[in-house]
Structure 1
C-alpha cells in the first residue's frame, strides 16, 4: 500500500530517542521518559483533533501543494500527510493514486514529525534509519525521502509535507527551505480552515439560540395572549357562541380582545375591541380594559355609561411621560325575553366607541350593520360621546362582532377588503349557526395576503332555529372558541 506501508509508531520512536542515553541510568528514568512521551503524544493528538482535518474530502489547496512539491523537486511522489494515532492519513497524495491512508508502524512520516527541522534520507539503502523499512526493499524501492513537519504555533507537529524518489539524491539548504515553506503554507491553510469552522460553528450556535429564543418568545406571546381573552366561552341558554383570534405575528401579543360575562337579571355582556399598539404595552392595556369593563358593567345597566366610565378611567391612567393609551370597542348587553323559562329572543343593546358596528344576520336573509356610527375613540378625549343601537335577536338570527383587521385585510394585489364586501359576504351566509359562520369567516381570512395581515378577532352569536318536539319550543346551547392562531 504505497510508500508508507508501515510508519514507525511515534510513541516508540520518541521513547527510543529520549531514553537511549538513559538506559544505563535507571529503569525509573526510562519509565518517566515513556510517561512523558505518552503525554506529549496525547497533547499532539488533541491538536490534530482541534483542526478537524482527518477524513475530510479532497481539497484543491492541499492538492496544489503536493503537485507543486513534486514539480519543484522533480520527484514522482509528493504528499501532505496527517499522523493519526495508528495511521498516516493522506490529505493529498500526488503519484499515489487511490491511497488514502496507511499504517503508522513502522515508517518514515512517524519519525519525521519528531524533528523540528526537515527530515532527510538521501539514500535509504545506506541509511540506518531507513534501510530496514519494508518500502526500501519492496517493489517501490524508495531511496530518497525528505519531509518538513506541519507545525502549529504552539509547537505541535500534525504531519508532514514530503517528497519521495526511487533513486538516491541530495537536497540543498534552499530545497529544505522550500519544503519548510510548503509545510508553512499547509499550516496557514489549516488555520484559515479552522477559523472558518469556528465562524460556522458560532453562526450555527447563534442560529440555534435565535431559534430557541424565537420559540420561547412565541410561546410567551401565545401564553400571554390566551390570558387576555376568555379561556372558554360561557354557555348561554338559548344561544350558540363561537370565537376566533388570529394575531399577525406569533412573536407579538396582539391588540385585539373580546370577552363574554354574565350580568345581573340573566343578562349577558359581550365586548370586542382593539387597543393601540402591540406587545407588552398592549397586553397591559388590554388587561386593564377587560377587568375595568367587568367591574363597571356590574354598576351600570346602560352600555354608554360603561364606555363613558371606561373612557374616564383610561384618561386618568395617562401621564405626560407616556404615549397615549386608547382603544376602540363595541359593548353589548343581551337581555333574554323568556317564554316559559326558555328565551324566545334576546334584546341587544350595543354601544360603540370608534369601533366597526356588528352585523345582524336575520334568518329571513341579508345582513345589516347595527346603526352605531362608530362613536369616538375611548381614552382620547374627556368628553367622548358614544352611540347606542337596539336590536332583536330571534331564532335563526346571528350577530357578528369583528375587529378592523378583517375589513382592512389586503388581497395579494394589495387591495383592501372593505366593509361593503364584508356585508355582501355575510349576506350569503345567513341561516348559518355560530360555529359554521365563524368557520366561513376564517376561510375568508385565509385567502388574504398574510404579509399584510393585522390582528383579527371574531365573535359570533346565533340563536338556533326553534324545533317542535312534544309540542314544546326548544333551543340549543353551545360555545366554541379558537384563540392564539396567527397568520
Structure 2
C-alpha cells in the first residue's frame, strides 16, 4: 500500500545509463553555450558592416562554402561570396531594398564555394541601428536551398513536360478532328451549301460530325450527328458512324433504313466495350424537275429537329418525332419526314451544343425557342448567310459554349424573278 508521500517522489530514471534523469545533466544541457549554438546552428549566420565587410561568420556557413575564417573575416565583403549573377542581383535589388526597408526576407541568392561550385541559398537580413537610426550592423541568416532548388527545377521540368504534352495532344486532337470531317463540302448543282464546326475545348476530340456527298443515282445524301462523349473512343465511334452511313447509302437509298443499319452496328459494338450512343439526322436530296428546287427526306434518331427557313420569311421546325437514340436497343425506331425545298428556302441542321450553350451574363441555356426565333428573324437567307449568323451567335456565348457545335446549312438559290429578298430582313415569324 502506498502513502501520500509516495506521490511526490521523483520519477525513476528511465535509462540510468543515459544520465537524462539526472537533474544536473539536464541543467548542463540547458546551459549549452550561446557561442556553440551560434557556431553550429543548422543555418548560416553572418554579420557585416553597412559597407558589406564581414565581421562575423559561423562555422556552419564556413563549412558550406569551404572557406577558412581568417580568409573571410575582415577580408571579404558579403558580395564577394556571391556568384556573378548573385552580385548583380545584390547590387540592383537586395542592397537597395535593405536600405529602404531595413529588413528583407527569403531572398534567393547563389553563393560561390571555395571550389568554384554554386550554393543556392535563401537569405534573411536585418539592419541594426543606433538610437539615432544610423546603420551599425547587418545581421543575416542563410538557409541552404539546394533541396528546394532541386525541387523547383523538377517542378519546372514537369511543368514544361506537361506543356509539351498538352501541345502534342492539341496537335493530335486537331489532326484527328480533321479526319472526322470532310475537308470541304462538295459543290451541289442547284444548291448553296455551308458548314461550321466550333470546338469547345482544344484538348479533347469531340463527337460531332457531318457530311454531304453524291449518290450513284444522282441524288445527294447528307447527315449530321453527335456522339455522346469525348476522347479517342468517341472518335472511333464517330469514324465508324461516318463510314457506315456513307457505305449504307450504296445499298439502300432510304435514310431511315441506313440509320437502322448503323444502329445495328453500334449495338453490336457496344456489347464488347463501354457503350457509346449517338443522335443523328440524315437526309436525301432529290432534284424536283416538276416544281423546281429539291425534295428532301429526313430521318432522325433522337436528334434536335432541323430548321427550315422559307423564302416568304417564315421559319419552321422539321420534327422527326419518335426517333430514338442510336446504339441503345437493336430495334430502335427511326422517324421520317419529307418536305419540298423551293427556291429561296434554306435548311439548317445543328448539334445540341448550340441550344445548350449558356447565355453570357445570365447562365441560362439558349434553348430551342430562342433558336427558332433567331431563324425567324433571319429568314429568308442563303446557306452562307445562315452559317455566318450562327458563327456570330456562337461568338456571343463566349465561355458559355461548353460543348462542340456542328452546323450544316443547305439552300436553294432564288432567281431574280422569284422576288426573294436577300440579305435577310430583321423581322419574321416562327412556327413549330
TM-score for the superposition, normalised by structure 2? 0.66
Q: Could you list the runs of 5+ residues in structure 1 that have no partner in the other structure? A: 1-60, 99-149, 160-181, 474-487
Q: Give yes or no for contact 2:47–2:56 (8 Å, CA) kept in 1.
A: no
What is residue 407 of structure 1 aligned with on the other side?
355
Q: Give yes or no for contact 2:46–2:54 (8 Å, CA) kept in 1.
A: no
Q: Give yes or no for contact 1:363–1:396 (8 Å, CA) kept in 2.
A: yes
Specify which of 237, 240, 247 is matched with residue 295 of structure 1. 247
Q: Give yes or no for contact 1:66–1:92 (8 Å, CA) kept in 2.
A: no
- Residues in 1 aligned to 2:154 and 2:88: alpha-carbon distance in whole angstroms: 29
Q: Give yes or no for contact 1:258–1:459 (8 Å, CA) kept in 2.
A: yes
- Residues in 2 aligned to 1:326 and 1:72: alpha-carbon distance in whole angstroms: 76
- Residues in 2 aligned to 1:432 and 1:359: alpha-carbon distance in whole angstroms: 12
Q: CA deviation at 1:350?
A: 0.1
Does 1:244 pair with 2:226? no
| Residues 232-241 or 405-414, more deviating | 405-414
Aligned ranges 1:445-464 → 2 under 5 Å: 445-450=394-399, 453-464=402-413
- Residues in 1 aligned to 2:271 and 2:389: alpha-carbon distance in whole angstroms: 43
What is residue 286 of structure 2 aligned with on the other side?
335
What is residue 270 of structure 1 aligned with on the other side?
222
What is residue 254 of structure 1 aligned with on the other side?
206
Q: CA deviation at 1:77?
A: 8.7
Does 1:231 pair with 2:183? yes
Q: CA deviation at 1:206?
A: 2.6
What is residue 358 of structure 1 aligned with on the other side?
306
What is residue 381 of structure 1 aligned with on the other side?
329
| Distance 1:351-1:80 versus aligned 2 partners, 3 A rule | same
- Residues in 1 aligned to 2:408 and 2:402: alpha-carbon distance in whole angstroms: 18
What is residue 78 of structure 2 aligned with on the other side?
80
Q: Could you list the runs of 5+ residues in structure 2 that have no partner in the other structure? A: 1-42, 58-72, 97-110, 119-138, 419-432
Does 1:326 pair with 2:324? no
Considering Cα pairs closer than 8 Å and 6+ residues apart, tell me whether 1 or 2 has the greater RCO.
Answer: 1
Secondary structure of 1:298's aligned partner: helix
What is residue 65 of structure 1 aligned with on the other side?
47
What is residue 420 of structure 1 aligned with on the other side?
369
- Residues in 1 aligned to 2:399 and 2:228: alpha-carbon distance in whole angstroms: 21
- Residues in 2 aligned to 1:307 and 1:377: alpha-carbon distance in whole angstroms: 10
Secondary structure of 1:347's aligned partner: strand
Q: CA deviation at 1:76?
A: 9.2
- Residues in 2 aligned to 1:457 and 1:91: alpha-carbon distance in whole angstroms: 54
TM-score for the superposition, normalised by structure 1? 0.59
Q: CA deviation at 1:242?
A: 0.7
- Residues in 2 aligned to 1:350 and 1:360: alpha-carbon distance in whole angstroms: 12
Q: CA deviation at 1:216?
A: 1.2
Secondary structure of 2:78's aligned partner: strand
Secondary structure of 2:241's aligned partner: helix
Secondary structure of 1:406's aligned partner: coil
- Residues in 2 aligned to 1:331 and 1:323: alpha-carbon distance in whole angstroms: 25
What is residue 106 of structure 2 aligned with on the other side?
none
| Distance 1:91-1:404 versus aligned 2 partners, 3 A rule | closer
- Residues in 2 aligned to 1:452 and 1:440: alpha-carbon distance in whole angstroms: 16
Q: CA deviation at 1:208?
A: 2.4
| Distance 1:307-1:396 versus aligned 2 partners, 3 A rule | same
| Distance 1:77-1:242 versus aligned 2 partners, 3 A rule | same
Q: Deviations over 1:373-399 (max 9, x none)?
A: 151011111111111000111111100
Secondary structure of 1:266's aligned partner: coil
Q: What root-mean-square deviation, in Å, do the aligned CA atoms of Structure 1 and Structure 2 show?
A: 3.4
- Residues in 2 aligned to 1:247 and 1:66: alpha-carbon distance in whole angstroms: 61
Q: Deviations over 1:54-95 (max 9, x none)?
A: xxxxxxx9996324986769x999722537999x969979xx
User: Highest CA radius of gyration, 1 or 2?
Assistant: 1
Q: Give yes or no for contact 1:79–1:90 (8 Å, CA) kept in 2.
A: no
Does 1:282 pair with 2:230? no
What is residue 12 of structure 1 aligned with on the other side?
none
- Residues in 1 aligned to 2:148 and 2:177: alpha-carbon distance in whole angstroms: 42
Q: Give yes or no for contact 1:303–1:332 (8 Å, CA) kept in 2.
A: yes
| Distance 1:82-1:71 versus aligned 2 partners, 3 A rule | closer
- Residues in 1 aligned to 2:88 and 2:340: alpha-carbon distance in whole angstroms: 87
